[in-house]
Amino acid sequence: MTAQHDLASQALHDPSLIEEMQLLDHRIRFGPTQSGWVSFVAREGHRPTILLAPDRDTLLLESRKLIKRRLEEKR
């Protein structure tokens, strides 16, 4: 049996693959994995939400949607 890496392992073990951006009051950290892309979306002082997607564009779109929903819920 071969060892199977978890979904985020590639991005987490190679910091040069991690990208980061700010959107409103959230930080999005994201990178590629063996099976797609992973992002960690969090506000300052909060635990991140982890999102998975098959490609970078979809991942960023879903990250933005998550932030928009959170801001609408705060109103």
Distances (CA, A) of 48 to 1, 3, 14, 41, 55: 33, 27, 19, 5, 20
What tens-digit pLDDT sequence spans the chain (75 residues)? Answer: 444 455 455 555 667 788 999 999 999 999 998 889 999 999 989 999 999 999 999 999 999 999 999 989 877
> Taken in order 21, 18, 59, 73, is the CA torsion positive or negative?
negative
What is the domain range of residue 33?
9-69
Is 1 within the bounds of a domain?
no
pTM of the model: 0.76
In a domain, residue 31? The reply is: yes
In a domain, 75, yes or no: no
